[in-house]
Structure 1
Amino acid sequence: MMKMTCAIMMLTPTTLLLRPKVLYKTTSSYSFLLSLLSLALMKPQSNSHLHLDYISVPLLLLSYWLLPLTILASQGVMAKEPTGRQRTFLAALVTLQSAISLTFMANNLTLMYIMFEATLIPTLVIITRWGQQAERLTAGTYFMLYTLLTSMPLLLATLFMNNLTFTPTPFSTITQPINTWSEFLLWVSCLLAFLTKMPLYGLHLWLPKAHVEAPIAGSMVLAAILLKLGGYGMIRMMQTLPTTKTDMFLPFLVLALWGAILANLTCLQQTDLKSLIAYSSVSHMGLVIASVTLQTQWGLSGAMLLMVAHGFTSSALFCLANTTYERTNTRILILTRGLHNILPLATAWWLLTNLLNIAMPPSLNFTGELLIASALFNWCPTTIIMFGLSMLITASYSLHMFLSTQMGMPLMNLPTQPTHTREHLMMALHMTPLIMVSMKPELVL
């Protein structure tokens, strides 16, 4: 683990010192090598400094795997930038990956909090410096304020628990007696920061703005990794804080399930392609929040499967949206129609990715949602109505997105480049591991 951590950290000075001609080649090769070497971590090991288990390993491998894909996705746009901006961009991406890695490897709550907050800085730099529109500063402000305001209670709760245990709080259940009111405040303080990062519906306003304004690499990391930090933090809090009844989480459960339905309905009226994909992430993460708060084995397994599957699927959708944007210079659904006649192979990728977003069996998305549905139904049979409605609307907006972008006659008479090998490689590297894990879900569970 230390070898992987040091290797990813040393990639930052490497990007700043490389010659311009080999900058992208070396960085891509280096990150691909790291992603392959990270597969050796599939068998969790632990030492006195860093910690890996069956909860952190799948998400850590996902973050390592997506680093080279973000570099490949950005290459088309960033190649036109000055060399200094390219170096800074790659350094920000690698720094963000280093902070994410240390978050998943943390063995106590204090280190996890520090690294969790450290991801804010490079993400903010990527959004505000390389965003595509003038509103990127507003998006960065929303992202910073939501994160900082909800992280303050988490800091206070962390300090309280450190004083309670006289040491940085490890991920094991606190046995010291705590009165009921203090326990309730601890739960709310700790969960608020992670529910905002997921995000829970009502605390989600920063996410569509950040996605729409961020460059493609920022959108991929936001959807695939940073949202999963919220789910990972919630699971760790369930392990650390004193156990409590599920009834205390009833407001979060109801808001998560209803929020999933409302986010899906919002997807149906979106005209911006990236905004639509962002709201779909809100709906999927609502299911993850509901399953984690049930505190059951099936719920936890379903949450882990859906987080990994959504990481690949949403990142692939943003890659396809970027492929369309680079050719049409617009993300308006009605203006990007008719691409089936021009880019038929890209349409095949669109169809496969949308089917995975719908959770078509026997994909990993389907397995995760099936476990979540079973856990929710076992807890309260009425939840199957909300879950079924959410699935129905998900299928509706996914098919709407596919038909709007691919079918019909093109409205814009622009010269269109054919899809590049780099873009097909990106999609293959998204779909292949997802399909392989779908055939053997034990790798994630």
Structure 2
Amino acid sequence: MLKYLLFALLMIFVVRSWLVVQSLLFLGTFLMCVGLTGVSWSSLSLGLGMDGISYILIMLSFWIVALVVKGSQKIYEASNFSSLFLFMNIMLLLSLIMTFCCMDYLFFYICFEASLIPTLILILGWGYQPERLQAGIYMLFYTLFGSLPLLVSFLMMYKVGYSLSFGLVDVKSGMSLTCLIWYFCTVFAFTVKLPMFTVHLWLPKAHVEAPVAGSMILAGVLLKLGGYGIIRVSPIFLEVGRHFSWVWVSLGVMGGGIISVLCLRQSDMKALIAYSSVAHMGLVLCGLMVFSWWGISGAVVVMVGHGLCSSGLFCMANMVYERLGSRSLMVSKGMMSFMPSMALWWFLLSAGNMAAPPTLNLLGEISLIISVLSWSIFSSFGVILVSFFGAAYTLYMFSMSQHGKLFSTLSSCCSGQMREYLVLMLHWLPLNIMILKSGVLVSL
């Protein structure tokens, strides 16, 4: 476990060399793939350790950050503080590795919040519009608003149980008012980060204003912190969670349905992809809160699949923006005529976004739908809404961007560089290949 932390720390000393950092990130992912063994807690030292869920999320973090660096080549070519950009990405990777490896709730809270600072600097430093300051403040205050009660909750756990180590916290959770407030304060912070419907407004704003690196990391890894946190704190409040799972399932399923309908009204590509993330995470929340094996395994699979798929879609939206100077679906019509090869990748990643076979998303969504329907048959209406409109808004995005009449001022554009196709292929390939070894993910 410590070797991966040291590996990430060493990259800080080579931030002046873009190529070396890229190579080390891909090498780190490869080494983690080779070392994929067992799912029990391993390398227990210095209050750090990994189980299967931690391992796969750390591997995802390495992979997404490597693709972020590969996809942000224009920052290096323009000499736009490229060393500082690499440093921020490596610091973000370090905070993510520490978060997924922590075995102490207070240490977990510190690392969980630390990931906010590099993300904020990425949005403010390399964002597109003047509104990026407002987007950064939105993200900061939404996250802090949810996280401060979480800190109080962890301090109370220490006062009651005299320990904050995973698996050793002994809280006699009943159905008293104190326990209810305690439970909701603990879980609410992670639902904001997930994000859950009603506390999701920071996400589209942050995505729209963030550079491609910020969007890819937000969608690829940072949203998974919320789901991972829920997995870690849920065992403490089993009794209360069992009685109030209907609250989260209702918000997840119906919120996902409402957001899916809203996606059909979006004209900004990045806003549409960001809202689709909220719909997918709604199903993940349901799976985590019904306390079933199908739900937990399906949630982990969807988190990994969504991280790869959504990151690739944001990467393609950025490629369109670089050529047209706009992300509007009304402006980017008929792109298939100019970039036919890119249209293939739009189709492949859009198919992944709507959970078409043979992508990892299909396996995860089947598990989540089984878990939600087995919990209550009345939730089927919301699941139908999410599934149907998930396909509808993805097809709407694909058809609006690739078909139709060309924008009148567009005379010519580059149909795509080898680097861009490589980045897209490295998003799509794991998304479809990992289903062949899905037993590793599902057994976590």
What are the residue-to-residue correspondences of 1:76-225 with 2, within 5 Å? 76-82=74-80, 85-172=81-168, 174=170, 176=172, 180-225=176-221
Residue 380 of structure 1 corresponds to: 376
> Structure 2 counterpart of 1:417, which letter?
C
Equivalent position amino acid for 1:397 in 2:
Y
Shift of 1:149: 1.1
Q: Alignment partner for residue 418 of structure 1, among 406, 415, 418?
A: 415
Tell me if the contact between 2:260 and 2:279 (Cα under 8 Å) persists in the aligned partners. yes
For residue 27 of structure 1, the aligned residue among 2, 21, 24 is 21
Q: Is the 8 A contact 2:89 2:118 kept in 1?
A: yes
Is the contact made by 1:109 and 1:171 (CA closer than 8 Å) also made in structure 2? no
Q: Could you say if the C-alpha distance between residues 162 and 133 of structure 1 is closer, same or farther in structure 2, counting changes exceeding 3 Å?
A: same
**Are the aligned partners of 2:173 and 2:179 in contact in 1 as well (CA < 8 Å)?**
no
Hey, what does 1:297 align to over in structure 2? 293
Correspondences of 1:260-409 after superposition (within 5 Å): 260-409=256-405
TM-fit CA distance, 1:4: 0.8
Contact 1:174–1:241 (CA under 8 A) maintained in structure 2:
no
Cα distance, 1:172 vs structure 2? 4.6
Letter in 1 for 2:103: N
Aligned-partner Cα distance in 2 for 1:179–1:356: 42
What is the one-letter code of the residue matched to 2:426? L
Please, what is the CA RMSD of the aligned residues? 1.5
Output the CA distance in 1 between the equivalents of 2:357 and 2:315.
Answer: 23
Instruction: Answer yes or no: is the 8 Å Cα contact 2:127–2:210 preserved in 1.
Output: yes
Contact 1:164 1:176 (8 Å CA) reproduced: no
What per-residue deviation string (whole Å, max 9, x for no partner) do you get for residues 126-155 of structure 1?
A: 011111000000000000000111100000
SS in 2 for 1:168: coil
- Judge conservation of contact 1:130–1:215 (CA < 8 Å) in 2: yes
Check 1:195–1:282 CA distance in 2 against 1; reply closer, same or farther (3 A cut). Answer: same
Q: Whole-Å Cα distance in 2 between the matches of residues 61 and 254 of structure 1?
A: 32
Does structure 1 retain, via aligned residues, the 8 Å contact 2:128–2:211?
A: yes
Q: Could you say which residue in structure 2 is the equivalent of 1:430?
A: 427
Unmatched tracts of structure 1, length 5 or more: none
Question: 1:442 corresponds to which residue?
Answer: 439
TM-score (norm. length: structure 1): 0.95
**Distance (whole Å) between structure 1 residues aligned to residue 155 and residue 161 of structure 2:** 10
- Secondary structure of 1:417 counterpart: coil
Conserved? CA contact 2:301–2:363, under 8 Å:
yes
Gaps of 5+ in 2: none
State the one-letter code of the partner of 1:109: Y
Equivalent residue runs for 1:3-42 within 5 Å: 3-15=3-15, 18=16, 23-42=17-36
Measured in 2, the distance between the counterparts of 1:181 and 1:390 equals 34
Q: Which amino acid aligns with 2:438?
A: P
Q: State the partner residue of 1:54.
A: 52
Distance 1:135 1:180, change over 3 A: same
Residue 402 of structure 1 and its aligned partner are, at CA, apart by 0.4
Q: Distance in 1 between matches of 2:168 and 2:351?
A: 39
Deviations 1:143-201, CA, capped at 9 Å, x for gaps: 00001111000000111112222233324562557672332222111111100000011
Aligned to 1:144, the other structure's residue is in SS state: helix
Quote how far apart the aligned CAs of 1:383 are.
1.0
> AA paired with 1:133?
Q
Bigger CA drift: 6-15 or 144-153? 6-15
Q: Note closer, same or farther for the CA distance 1:377–1:86 as it changes in structure 2 (3 Å cut).
A: same
Deviations 1:384-429 (A, max 9, x none): 1210111111111100100111112311324301211111111111
TM-score, with length taken from structure 2: 0.95
1:66 aligns with 2:64: yes
